Amino acid sequence: MATIALTPRLATPRSRLPGRIVTYVGMTMLVVLFIFPFFWTAASSLKAASDVYIYPPIWIPGVLRWDNYPQVFQLVPYSTWFANSVIVVVLQTLGVVISASLVAYSFARFRYPGRELLFLITLGTMMLPAEVTLIPTYLLFKYLGWLNTLKPLWLPAWFGGGAFNIFLLRQFILSLPHELDEAAIVDGASYARILWSILLPLMKPALATVAVINFIYGWNDFLGPLVYLTSPENFTLAVGLRYFDVTPNQPGVPQLHLLMAAVVMGTVPIIALFFIAQRYFVEGVVLSGIKG
């Protein structure tokens, strides 16, 4: 009887081995597929201008041209564009996290007339493309005198934080027990104190998810800076990289290798942020999806 009982347990791992091999091979192929564009960009950033267009392509350049990176700063005001992008994404991310937390706290914890209707209207705004409201917002910012400044890119984030972020944080707050709030109220804590001292520390995974998503969105945003900014000294990286298509002071000279170097440097902050917040980001996505 002991032999019969042990046989299925010993055979089970072996029966799953082919499936695991197929899974690992498939995942490895997907990793190679998704990482290939970044590898090609990094390799092209170390090539000469003529080597980028050679066919068949040179996967790894024989001579690594590290001087392509300093040339980027000599050709365009890359440091200024980088600083503008940092300013925009930091202020925008802070505004989204703070304002979306307040709105989500209201939808999740308070009961008042029209709450569900307001929440449905908020979710309904997710169905509107940005192009639909582009002209009205442009006219508004023109009336306020904000055109060709960084304000249109980050200041609206402080007024609500966006429907998706509100929904994500609301779902996370709903998963937290009401007993925490009730105990704090008994101890004399205000609603603001409850949010700041009790709920927000427990919301770190969801807040990290919102912060990472909005940081990446703000860093890669192209339409907003293209519409609202006109002076090169106010450009962000997303718009400034267009200058490498044809350099103004060297018409017709290919600058694709310098463009790749600029892209690699512009990708480093996003990669660093993701690895720093990876644990909270994954946990926030999982928990919000389960409780939603």
**What pLDDT does 282 receive?**
65
**What pLDDT does 258 receive?**
84
Crossing angle of helices 78-109/163-174, nearest 10°?
A: 50
Q: Check: CB of residue 80 under 8 Å from CB of residue 174.
A: no
Beta strands in 61-160 (DSSP E): none
Same-domain pairing of 107 and 18: no
Same-domain pairing of 34 and 148: no
Q: What is the mean pLDDT of residues 153-161?
A: 91
Residue 60 lies in a domain: no
Same-domain pairing of 143 and 185: yes
Higher-pLDDT residue of 225, 4: 225
**What pLDDT does 117 receive?**
93
Same-domain pairing of 85 and 167: yes
- Domain interval for residue 12: 2-44
Q: Which two tokens stand for residue 249?
A: 């002071």
Distance CA 76, CA 233 (A): 10
Name the region of 162 (left: φ>0; alpha: ψ -120 to 50; beta: rest). Answer: left
Distance CA 205, CA 281 (A): 6
Same-domain pairing of 227 and 106: yes
Same-domain pairing of 89 and 223: yes
Distance CA 285, CA 137 (A): 31
Inform me whether the pLDDT recorded for 102 exceeds 80: yes
Same-domain pairing of 80 and 170: yes
Inform me whether the pLDDT recorded for 36 exceeds 60: yes
Same-domain pairing of 33 and 86: no
Same-domain pairing of 145 and 270: yes
> Is 172 buried (19+), middle (13-18) or exposed (0-12) by CB count in 10 A?
buried
**What pLDDT does 292 receive?**
40
Inform me whether the pLDDT recorded for 58 exceeds 50: yes
Q: Give pTM, 2 decimals.
A: 0.80
Which segment, 70-79, 148-157, 257-266, is predicted with the most confidence on average? 148-157
Residue 57 lies in a domain: no
Inform me whether the pLDDT recorded for 37 exceeds 90: no
Same-domain pairing of 99 and 240: yes
Distance CA 170, CA 123 (A): 12
**What pLDDT does 289 receive?**
47
**What pLDDT does 225 receive?**
92
Residue 18 lies in a domain: yes
Same-domain pairing of 263 and 136: yes
Mean pLDDT score of the chain: 83
Higher-pLDDT residue of 208, 282: 208
**What pLDDT does 11 receive?**
46
Number of domains in the chain: 2
| 41-55, 186-200, 206-220, 237-251: the lowest-pLDDT one | 237-251
pLDDT in tens, 266-279: 988 888 887 887 77
- CA dihedral 225→228→232→238, nearest 10 degrees, is 10
Distance CA 248, CA 153 (A): 26
Helix (H, G, I), strand (E, B) or coil at 286: helix
How far CA 178 is from CA of 109, 169, 185, in Å, comes to: 8, 16, 11
Distance CA 37, CA 55 (A): 17
Residue 49 lies in a domain: no
Q: What is the mean pLDDT of residues 121-144?
A: 89
Residue 86 lies in a domain: yes
Same-domain pairing of 37 and 159: no
Q: Which two tokens stand for residue 21?
A: 């091999």
**What pLDDT does 32 receive?**
86
Residue 64 lies in a domain: no
Q: The CATH number of the domain where 164 resides is what?
A: 1.10.3720.10
Residue 51 lies in a domain: no
Residue 205 lies in a domain: yes
Sign of CA dihedral 96, 98, 99, 104: positive
